[in-house]
Amino acid sequence: MTTLNTKAMNSIEPYDKLYTTVFHTLRKICVKNGILPTALSAATRDLLVSSSGPEAFGGFAEVWRGRLGHQDVGVKVIRISTKGSADSVLKVAITWHRLSHDRIVPFYGIDQRQFPLSMVCKWMVYGDVVSFIKDNPEANRPRLILDIAHGLEYLHSSAVGIIHGDLKGANILVDEHRRACLSDFGLTTILYRPETVHIVTNVSVFSSTARWMAPELHDPEQYGLVHGNPTKESDVYAFSMIMWELFTGRYPFHESRLDAQVIHKVLTGNRPPRPDGANPLGLSDEVWQIMERCWREDRRKRPRISAALQDLKRAFYFKGKSIPIPRHLSFDLPSAHWDGKPKVTLGVIGPELKVTLKSMPLASESYCRMSVQ
């Protein structure tokens, strides 16, 4: 199977339509027959668990720290009770192993030697994005938000075609460069299997997914749907809740402890209020309007993540309107970008800088607001 997989995939251009078809066919064969591709197990052959106990706990897994060669890795030990759950993990692992993007947590493979079943990925030194902003109050929110949007755009692209299905701050991890990366996509199918419902009831109410879920997932019939399956539109809704989470440092609907209360609010059209004092963090009128579009009740009126991403780039960096920002975002740009010596003023962006910033490659991702006087 591994030989067939390698020959088939290497002979086709990545993300070609034929590549995608072959990939899905091979994945289906592996899952149906319980075959673990050698590429997933061989990569973790030298795995050593370095922590004496779990570093973190979740509703369906616990995370240990380990070493793979010279690299620190996270070992996510999945709690499973049936073959169906194991098959789902295998499906997620095969899919995750295929992905390659700076804003997706790198996945190395599956290990069954240290634990019954675990997934091994890069160790993210700053943990989840919620913990990161609590420890770093002046963290660059615009950059983190754009990082998340870039990762989601990649998953939603026609070449990849993946629905995350469980977007929330706890599933966004921050690497050593303080950049946000998406993790745990697809694992929601394991969490909500009937045989694991008892796991859900044992976790904190603030750890559940209900607070980030679109209304049509809570009550499909109310919105003319037969099933409440995650979609690209529901991912966009969850993305808007993450934005609110980053600007406030709180869970959506934090004033309601019970999921039932949250669900009632969502289904009756309530959304989190605009937080006071978040303007210095980047929450301008334009950004707030984008958030409101992303959490619209009618899923068909929500923007695609690619459109939301472009709107956010313009709102964060290319508006001539003065918007204050945290001081730590400042840096000196080369004077070669201007005629004469630039004087950088913290916290505002003026039209005189607008053209200069537009001429700079977005790939630099400097993500800073400045004006030249």
Q: Between 331 and 208, where is the model more confident?
A: 208
Same domain, 62 and 43: yes
- Nearest of 159, 155, 183, 156 to residue 169 by alpha carbon: 183
Last residue of a domain, one of 122, 150, 176: 122
Task: Compute and round to an integer the Cα radius of gyration of the chain.
Answer: 22
Contact 304, 267 (CB under 8 A): no
What CATH number corresponds to the domain at position 51?
A: 3.30.200.20
For the segment 70-97, the average pLDDT, to the nearest whole number, is 75
CATH code assigned at 174: 1.10.510.10
112 shares its domain with 200: no
pLDDT at 216 over 90: yes
Stretch 179-188: mean pLDDT = 81
pLDDT digits (tens, 9 = 90+) for 232-241: 999 999 999 9
Q: Which of 122, 151, 179 is the last residue in one of the domains? A: 122
In total, how many domains does the chain have?
2
Query: pLDDT averaged over the chain?
Result: 76
Q: Which of 312, 307, 289 is nearest to 362 (CA)?
A: 312
Q: Is residue 326 part of a domain?
A: no
Same domain, residue pair 145 and 269: yes
Tokens of 30: 């592996």
Tens-place pLDDT, residues 19-41: 555 555 665 655 555 555 666 67
Instruction: Looking at the structure, tell me whether residues 169 and 309 fall in a common domain.
Output: yes
What pLDDT score does 187 carry? 59
CB 152 within 8 Å of CB 239 = yes
Cα separation of 172 and 346, whole Å? 29
Whether residue 347 lies inside any domain: the answer is no
Asked if the structure places residue 174 within a domain, the reply is: yes
Tell me: do 184 and 217 sit in the same domain.
yes
pLDDT tens, position by position, 122-149: 999 999 999 999 999 999 999 999 999 9
Six token digits for residue 116: 């019954």
285 shares a domain with 182: yes
User: Which positions ≥6 away from 255 have C-beta within 8 Å?
Assistant: none
Whether residue 138 sits in one domain with residue 113: no
- Domain holding 208, by residue range, is 127-317
Conformation bin of residue 216: beta by default, left when phi > 0, alpha when psi is -120 to 50: alpha
Q: Are residues 103 and 180 in the same domain?
A: no
5, two tokens: 């997989």
Q: Which two tokens stand for residue 99?
A: 């992905």
143-172 per-position pLDDT tens digit: 999 999 999 999 999 888 889 999 999 999
What pLDDT score was predicted for residue 186? Answer: 60
Confirm if 211 and 294 have CB atoms less than 8 A apart.
no
**Comparing 29-33, 77-81, 257-261, 280-284, which segment has the lowest mean pLDDT?**
29-33
Q: Is the pLDDT reported for residue 117 higher than 90? A: no
